[in-house]
Structure formats: C-alpha cells, structure tokens
C-alpha cells in the first residue's frame, strides 16, 4: 500500500495554499496538488486590493482579521508579497451613487469596518490626486494592496518550509472513496489521503461533482489593466462605481485599474476574451477620478476568473454526508479575506474550534429560495 497523507488539498490558489500551510504547521502530513504553478489563476492575477469597501457585509469581521494577516505577512508567511497599507476612498460622483455609498458604508460600519463618509473636499485632502468632482467619499483607514503576482512565490517557499508535499503542474482528474481514505487520480499517479479539501476556485463545481455533489458556481470574468511606470499620481486605493472598479499606484510607479466592466470567457475551456471597448470604459472612469492618469500609457491588460455561489457567500466547510471531505472557496473579495477564512478551515480540520463560523454548503444544496441569504 502506498503512503497515505493526513490531508490532500486540490487547488493551489490562496485558499488551498493557506489551508495546506496551517494544517502542516498544525502537525499534519499534507500534500497539495495544483494543475499549474501555485497561485497563477485568480490568486495571482487579481488586483491585489485589500479592502473593506468592496467586501460583503457578512464578511467584514473576517476581512478585518485577514487584513491584519496581510499587513503582517512577513511574520506568518515569511515571504514578501509587497503589502502596502494605506487609506482607501470609495467615491460617489452623483446623488444616486452618494445615496448607495452612504447606505452601504453604514452597513459595513455596523459590521465593524471603520468607514466614515467624508465630503468631496475632504477626500481631495486625503488624496490630492483626485479630480475634485466627487460629491462624497467613503474613507477607510484599513485598506491597501499587495503584489498578487508574488503570492505563488511566497506560498511556495512557505509550504516547502512547512514540509508540505507540493505537486505543481499536476492536474487531478478525479477522487474516489477507497477503504476509508480518498484516492486522488493525478497526472503523477494515484495518491492516497485520509482527508481531502477541494479548493479549485471557479473549478470547485467540477471538483464537487467527483464526489456526487452538484453546486452551481457562477464565474465572474474580471478585467485588469496596468499603466507604464509614471511619477506618483496617487497615494490611496480609490474605488469608483460603488467599489466595482478600483485603482492604486504601486511603489515602482505602475497604476493597476481593476474590475469594472467584465470580459467574456469560458471556465471549462479556460479561454477569456478581453473587450477593448469595456477596458476603455474602465480607463475613462479611472481618469475621471485621477486626471493625471490621462498622460499615462497602458502597458498590459488581462482577465481572471472569480467564483460566486448563489448567495454570493463563501463555500467553506465540511461536505454534507461525506466524512473527512471539505470545500474551500468562492469567497467574495477572496484575496483580501482568503487567508483568514482558509486558516479557519485548517483549524476545524485540526479539531480546534475556529474563532469564527465557517460557511458550510448545506444552505446552497437546499432548493432555491429555501437557503439562507444573510
Ligand atoms: C481579475 C481578478 C481581480 C480580483 N481582484 C481582487 C482584489 O483586488 N481583491 C480581492 O480581495 N479579491 C480579488 N479577486 C478575487 C480573488 O482573486 C479570488 O477570490 C481568490 O484569489 C480565489 O482564490 P482561490 O484559491 O479560491 O481560487 P484560485 O486562485 O483560482 O485557485 C484555484 C486553483 O485550483 C486549480 N485547479 C483547478 N482545477 C484543478 C484540477 N483539476 N487539479 C488541480 N488543480 C486544479 C487552479 O489551477 C487554481 O490555481 C479578483 C479576482 C480576479 C479574477
């Protein structure tokens, strides 16, 4: 009989990598299987924003903990992901946007996010790069960003140091129950594990189907663009259109414009198509907020796939009816909150009481309308 690991994690994005890391540090013998290099899907191509102003209200307490984790990444991850902690401003340019912003900021504040509404003039004091056309802004001191493309490098080193058996470029084709364990069919042969975590981002839907669970996962296709390196034009994270679009300038001078109008694509075939007219729309909005950006040339644009459940809340917890099997993903603004929420799942798997509740998928398997929508 081949070696049996305590835990097998399938999918090496920020969720899978974090569960694997903390489970290994908790004493488990962990194997992680990633079809490509670590964190090269959503977790490596995202906009890197670490914000409360785009986070769903129910996730604010988690996001605050996660923000603190990112801010101290050197301590627990041990490797640099270029985290910058700075102020965040969410702008409203019209009375309708101002009303919605005020309502949402109020809800997030009730949930613990330190967001205050400030006048357009005050927003311009906080961010001198603004055009001055904003009526009001949501101002949050707990904001910032990371260099998402460094995520895989950082986790790779940390996982190896923690003793995780790391299988990159190792697609998994299926999972079967076998003698009280799980047999994982990989491109490197069959691997056996006692417990399993499915952490496949937008691909948790086909992964769950391996175990007979049908959970529809919507795929969002977010477009990003990055400017050439320019002189400093902004010093905060700026959100527009009630958080749908965000922009920030990295210390080396590039400005990343993320979100906004979506691209098109296909999860199964993996192909995405950027839509130039929508990218231009995003850039126009960005220039409306930060006029100095009009002088910048855009260097590159790309897109990535983000998962969403029916109620837009995470799928994180045990799989109903299947002992020792778990799912971890579909966290909205999952780069911000992922490390904390995935660490909670690792605590659960280690038989410790997580500090906050998980998000079991039982609610999503009930007929439409019967589940909770908190
Ligand atoms: C363009 C974009 C911008 C975003 N911007 C932000 C932002 O600014 N701030 C924020 O908080 N969030 C942001 N997000 C959301 C955030 O990136 C995601 O919520 C988070 O990274 C998801 O992590 P994950 O581990 O669940 O999924 P992923 O990172 O997608 O990881 C899943 C992994 O599973 C692997 N996999 C799939 N099938 C198999 C298989 N059969 N065998 C082995 N491995 C498999 C994939 O290769 C992939 O690496 C953005 C998302 C996108 C796409």
Domains of the chain: 4-44+149-216+310-365 (3.50.50.60), 90-140+218-306 (3.30.9.10)
Q: What is the pLDDT of residue 265?
A: 82
Calculate how far, in angstroms, residue 15's C-alpha sits from the geometric centre of ligand 1.
8
Phi, psi values for residue 89, rounded to 5°? -125, 130
Sign for the CA dihedral angle at 201, 283, 126, 104 comes to negative
Calculate how far, in angstroms, residue 306's C-alpha sits from the geometric centre of ligand 1.
6
> Could you identify the atom of ligand 1 that is nearest to the CA of residue 336?
11
The per-residue pLDDT for range 345-362, each reduced to its tens digit, is 999 999 999 999 999 999
Check pLDDT > 60 for residue 373. no
> Could you identify the atom of ligand 1 that is nearest to the CA of residue 55?
11
Check pLDDT > 80 for residue 187. yes
Q: What is the pLDDT of residue 371?
A: 43
Q: How confident is the model at residue 233 (pLDDT cuts 50, 70, 90)?
A: very high
The CB of 314 under 6 Å from ligand 1? The reply is no
The CB of 14 under 6 Å from ligand 1? The reply is yes
Measured CA to CA, the distance from residue 261 to residue 244 in angstroms comes to: 8
Closest CA to 263 of 302, 309, 217: 302
> Could you identify the atom of ligand 1 that is nearest to the CA of residue 302?
1
Task: Work out the average pLDDT over 78-87.
Answer: 96
Q: What is the pLDDT of residue 374?
A: 37
The CB of 42 under 6 Å from ligand 1? The reply is yes
Nearest residue CA, atom 2 of ligand 1? 46
Q: What is the pLDDT of residue 369?
A: 52
With vertex at residue 353, the alpha carbon angle to CA 352 and CA 355, rounded to the nearest 5 degrees, is: 125
CA distances (Å), origin 259, targets 65, 223, 249 = 24, 6, 15
Q: Are 91 and 102 in contact (CB under 8 A)?
A: no
> Could you identify the atom of ligand 1 that is nearest to the CA of residue 221?
53
> Could you identify the atom of ligand 1 that is nearest to the CA of residue 201?
27
Q: How confident is the model at residue 1 (pLDDT cuts 50, 70, 90)?
A: low
Nearest residue CA, atom 3 of ligand 1? 46
Calculate how far, in angstroms, residue 24's C-alpha sits from the geometric centre of ligand 1.
21
Calculate how far, in angstroms, residue 13's C-alpha sits from the geometric centre of ligand 1.
6
Calculate how far, in angstroms, residue 202's C-alpha sits from the geometric centre of ligand 1.
7
The per-residue pLDDT for range 113-162, each reduced to its tens digit, is 999 999 999 999 999 999 999 999 999 999 999 999 999 999 999 999 99
The CB of 239 under 6 Å from ligand 1? The reply is no
| Bigger pLDDT: 302 vs 2 | 302
The per-residue pLDDT for range 97-125, each reduced to its tens digit, is 999 999 999 999 999 999 999 999 999 99
The CB of 306 under 6 Å from ligand 1? The reply is yes
Q: How confident is the model at residue 367 (pLDDT cuts 50, 70, 90)?
A: low
The per-residue pLDDT for range 167-182, each reduced to its tens digit, is 999 999 999 999 889 9
The CB of 223 under 6 Å from ligand 1? The reply is no
Sign for the CA dihedral angle at 116, 97, 333, 275 comes to negative
Measured CA to CA, the distance from residue 184 to residue 169 in angstroms comes to: 15
Q: What is the mean pLDDT of the chain?
A: 94
């Amino acid at each position: 009989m081949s070696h049996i690991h305590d835990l097998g994690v399938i999918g090496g994005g920020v969720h899978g990598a974090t569960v694997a890391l903390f489970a290994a540090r908790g004493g488990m013998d962990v194997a992680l299987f990633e079809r490509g290099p670590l964190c090269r899907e959503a977790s490596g191509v995202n906009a890197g924003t670490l914000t409360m102003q785009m986070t769903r209200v129910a996730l604010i307490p988690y996001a605050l903990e996660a923000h603190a984790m990112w801010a101290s990444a050197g301590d627990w991850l041990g490797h640099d992901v270029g985290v910058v902690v700075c102020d965040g401003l969410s702008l409203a340019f019209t009375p309708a946007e101002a009303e919605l912003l005020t309502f949402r900021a109020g809800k997030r504040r009730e949930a613990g996010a330190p967001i205050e509404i400030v006048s357009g003039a005050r927003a311009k004091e906080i961010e001198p790069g603004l055009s001055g056309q904003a009526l009001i802004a949501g101002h949050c001191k707990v904001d910032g960003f990371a260099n998402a493309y460094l995520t895989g490098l950082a986790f790779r080193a940390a996982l190896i140091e923690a003793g995780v058996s790391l299988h990159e470029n190792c697609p998994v084709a299926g999972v079967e129950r076998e003698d009280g364990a799980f047999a994982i069919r990989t491109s490197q042969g069959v691997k056996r594990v006692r417990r399993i975590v499915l952490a496949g981002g937008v691909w948790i839907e086909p992964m769950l189907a391996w175990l007979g669970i049908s959970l529809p996962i919507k795929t969002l296709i977010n477009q990003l663009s990055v400017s050439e390196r320019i002189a400093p034009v902004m010093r905060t994270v700026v959100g527009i259109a009630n958080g749908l679009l965000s922009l920030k300038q990295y210390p080396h001078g590039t400005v990343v414009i993320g979100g906004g109008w979506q691209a098109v694509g296909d999860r199964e075939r993996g192909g995405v198509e950027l839509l130039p007219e929508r990218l231009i729309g995003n850039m126009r909005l960005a220039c409306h907020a930060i006029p100095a950006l009009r002088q910048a040339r855009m260097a590159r644009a790309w897109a990535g796939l983000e998962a969403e459940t029916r109620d837009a809340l995470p799928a994180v917890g045990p799989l109903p009816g299947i002992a020792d099997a778990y799912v971890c993903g579909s966290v909205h603004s999952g780069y911000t909150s992922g490390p904390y929420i995935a660490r909670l799942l690792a605590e659960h798997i280690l038989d410790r009481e997580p500090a906050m509740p998980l998000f079991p998928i039982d609610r999503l398997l009930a007929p439409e309308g019967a589940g909770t929508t908190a």
